Amino acid sequence: MQLSSFLFFTRNSGVAYNRNMNNDAIFKALSDSTRRLILDELSERNEQTFYELTVRLITKHDLVITRQAVAKHLSTLEDAGLVKSEKRGKYRVIIFSNEPLKNLLQGWIE
């Protein structure tokens, strides 16, 4: 009985299942205080270069963090769809995307 319930769920509502998997990535991304600081910085001043963002985290928040650690946090945020990065010339620009958060909350509010 459990197996057929599982098959029924995934077959008839695959979109909801995929959305829940994306929600898990969002919650994972938001679970870390450094990643939340990154989002705070980007919501305050969007489209920062990787270097600018790293410097702001270190100077403004007194974080002791390496560029590699920032890159790893950005990768998690990017997997969740919360940030995007674009190559502009020789710089990597980080862009905040709040759409996944809006979609997550909209599911609960409606």
| Cβ–Cβ < 8 Å for 73, 85 | no
* Residue 52 token pair: 């600018």
Residue 7 belongs to a domain with what CATH number?
1.10.10.10
How far apart CA 30 and CA 105 sit, in angstroms, is 14
How far apart CA 7 and CA 10 sit, in angstroms, is 5
To the nearest whole percent, how much of the chain has pLDDT over 90?
70
49-68 residue pLDDT tens: 999 999 999 999 999 999 99
Q: Which domain holds residue 51?
A: 2-109
6-24 residue pLDDT tens: 333 333 333 343 456 688 9
User: Count of domains in the chain?
Assistant: 1
| Torsion sign (Cα): 64, 78, 87, 36 | negative
